[in-house]
Chains A and B, each alone.
Chain A
Amino acid sequence: MTEHSNLRRAFLEVSDLSVQFPTEDGIVRAVDGVSFSIERGQTLAIVGESGSGKSVTAQAVMGLINKRNADVSGQANFDGEDLVAMSDEDLRKLRGNKMSMIFQDPMSSLHPFYRIGDQLTEAINAHQKVSKTEARDRAIEMLHKVGIPLPAKRFDDYPHQFSGGMRQRVMIAMALINSPSLLIADEPTTALDVTVQAQIIELISQLQREFDTAVILITHDLGIVADVADEVAVMYGARVVEHGSVDDIFYHPQMPYTLGLLASVPRLTQVRNDRLDPIPGNPPSPLRLPTGCVFHPRCVYQDEVVGDLCRTQRPDLESVGPGHEVRCHLPAAKRQAAAEVALAALGRSST
């Protein structure tokens, strides 16, 4: 990310993005100084637990956060324009056009009262003037592309006549119908059957290749991440705590939270009675983020840092390799040792 900025801007470059919601109980810091970047044709996975700020980050990029209820600050440079500073109307013109989004729950994401064909052509007509028949043809072609059988017939069906997987395909067709250059997929497979999950992910990748789309994939499914992501940003407590290539994250993780995340993934090779290692404790409330490092209350290594830094000082994102950054006070040697122990543990349970 940072290595690009001196030479030229990345296709989408988010820097220091923060989203705060003032509520009666205090300020909710949903996103706190998040930075990442992505090029066309690439996939960035944002992983993290529920409430870590993944979805809000995506919605802020899309301009779907109502500025009346929230403070959005920072920058999101998208093909030369700052999405954060942009007017609502300009954002609207980009949404569904140059950038689009698919959501977690396909069962509730389509309007139940309108034919899916009409919902698709609506997306076309929102951005360009085309004739009715042309819009219809394009919608049917898109339905065909996402693998809906008999698309010309299904065009006139209502969402309740589709299964969950098929609805997610319709959502993908709708998101890609104007050939966007950025697609944000917010947990696109969470609500689907496992067999359908793989199909949907494959479909997204395939269309990504076809349209040369930049994809931000928000998920907590590390298996999917390993499959399709080029880069990974690990979010915890509204911040990016580790960022790097897939190899960096899976084979050279540095941040204790990432280690915990990897350790909590079930493995087929695992010995039957061997229990998973969940990260102890609970994610922090965005109303009261911990001081210092947001992860310190759950971090087993916090005592190895001298001077109580973890509790008092917010660690910076520190570069530990090309394109690999970590937000942790632990000295490099100790991080390395921790990572080796954790990976060895994973290796041990796989023997």
Chain B
Amino acid sequence: MVILLLLLTLVVFILFSLLPADPARLTCGKGCTPAVLEANRHKLGLDLPVIQQYWEFMKGLFVGRIYAADSPDPVVCNAPCLGYSFKRGEEVLVLIKDRLPATIWLALGAFILWLAAGISVGVYAALRRGRWQDKTVMGISLAGYSLPSFFLGLMAIFFIVIRLQLLPYPSYVSPFENPIQFFQTMLLPWIVLAILYAAFYMRLTRNQMLEVLGEDYIRTARAKGLPERIVIRKHALRAGLTPIVTAAGLDLAGLLGGAIITESIFSLPGLGSLAVNSVNDADLPVIVGITLVTATFIIVANLIVDLLYAVIDPRVRLVS
């Protein structure tokens, strides 16, 4: 797992070094002289070979590092140092920490919404397979699946915020400071994201349920005289849950790395918008930092999903 993360940073480093853009040039501004450019390049450590830059980065991660140690104003970055953004004049870790709450709230809220909607509607459609309810649900899900998030997001802002003025223009605050404004801001992005994901989960749940409902043990459950609602919830849904948990874990982790488009549309100060801005600015330290954090989320999510398998399915458990 750790090796995977290290490899990943290496790949990002190499890819970035191949970019035609010169990060030092971007820090230098208009009246740039070759001397200043060179000084900046040295300050950023960009005059070193890529491998050595990578070595410095790894060192910073574990023992901390000092940027521009030989200059009059060195920058100290303590371990774990994900790097220092000269563009923003801030440690990458601090930048990410600042942006993380908005992303986490966005992802969690949408996650709960889409799971609740996706699973319940999926089960409903499965129970009415082939009838008009099923067809309607599947039609809507196809539409939701195909709509791009920028379209949905912009439409939501245009109609609900601007035309009908049901909600104020989104402006993110912490839920601990101003819960009402927080919910007003997050409601639309939650719904927009949830619609996109729920569409997929409806289909997934429906197909899982249809498969499981044909199983022999469902017939057994009915033969026992269990009420249909218990047959569905306890016997069928539980058995069909495994792939849903897999998908949910990975989707949530992916979202924790930043919902780029949704965050941009609703001007949420999350990781996604930070990533976009950093790419525009060729702000290497920030990009590497975000990549590392996102990758960690995904790897941890994989681990949790694997552990959940054992909770769901006793056959996966190790014999003690």
Q: How far is the CA of A171 from the CA of B221 in the complex (A)?
A: 11
Q: When the two chains form their complex, are residues B313 and A127 in contact, meaning their CB atoms are under 8 A apart?
A: no
Instruction: Name the B residues within 8 Å of A198 (CB-CB).
Output: none
Instruction: Name the A residues within 8 Å of B224 (CB-CB).
Output: 95-96, 100, 122-123, 126, 174
Considering residues A93, A94, A111, A171, which has the most beta carbons from chain B within 10 angstroms of its beta carbon? Answer: A111
* Residues of B within 8 A of A (CB-CB), count: 20
Q: Mark B295-320, 1 if CB is under 8 A from A, else 0.
A: 00000000000000000111100000
Q: When the two chains form their complex, are residues B225 and A109 in contact, meaning their CB atoms are under 8 A apart?
A: no
Quick check: is A103 within 8 A (CB to CB) of the other chain? yes
Q: When the two chains form their complex, are residues B222 and A112 in contact, meaning their CB atoms are under 8 A apart?
A: no
Quick check: is A258 within 8 A (CB to CB) of the other chain? no
Q: How far is the CA of A115 from the CA of B315 in the complex (A)?
A: 11
Q: How far is the CA of A64 from the CA of B222 in the complex (A)?
A: 7
Q: Per DSSP, are chain A's interface residues mostly helix, strand or loop, or mixed?
A: mixed
Known contacts A93-B225, A111-B239; A160 and B220 CB within 8 A of each other: no
Within 8 A of B (CB), among A57-108: 62, 64, 88, 92-97, 100-101, 103, 105, 108
Q: When the two chains form their complex, are residues B225 and A126 in contact, meaning their CB atoms are under 8 A apart?
A: yes
Q: Mark B223-261, 1 if CB is under 8 A from A, else 0.
A: 111111000000100110000000000000000000000
* Residues of A within 8 A of B (CB-CB), count: 29
Q: When the two chains form their complex, are residues B223 and A95 in contact, meaning their CB atoms are under 8 A apart?
A: yes
Shortest CB-to-CB span from A47 to chain B, Å, is 22
Q: When the two chains form their complex, are residues A123 and B216 in contact, meaning their CB atoms are under 8 A apart?
A: no
Instruction: Name the A residues within 8 Å of B238 (CB-CB).
Output: 113
Q: How far is the CA of A115 from the CA of B223 in the complex (A)?
A: 18
Within 8 A of A (CB), among B199-226: 215-217, 219-226
Q: How far is the CA of A100 from the CA of B220 in the complex (A)?
A: 10
Q: When the two chains form their complex, are residues A94 and B225 in contact, meaning their CB atoms are under 8 A apart?
A: yes
Q: How far is the CA of A62 from the CA of B225 in the complex (A)?
A: 10
Shortest CB-to-CB span from B151 to chain A, Å, is 38
User: 18 A-B contacts, Cβ less than 8 Å apart?
Assistant: A62-B223, A96-B225, A103-B216, A103-B220, A103-B223, A108-B217, A109-B216, A109-B220, A111-B217, A112-B217, A113-B313, A122-B224, A123-B224, A126-B224, A158-B315, A160-B314, A171-B220, A174-B220
Q: Interface on A for B, CB 8 Å cutoff? A: 62, 64, 88, 92-97, 100-101, 103, 105, 108-113, 115, 122-123, 126-127, 158, 160, 171, 174-175
- State the 7 A-B residue pairs at the shortest beta-carbon distance, nearest first: A96-B225, A95-B225, A96-B224, A108-B216, A111-B217, A123-B224, A158-B314
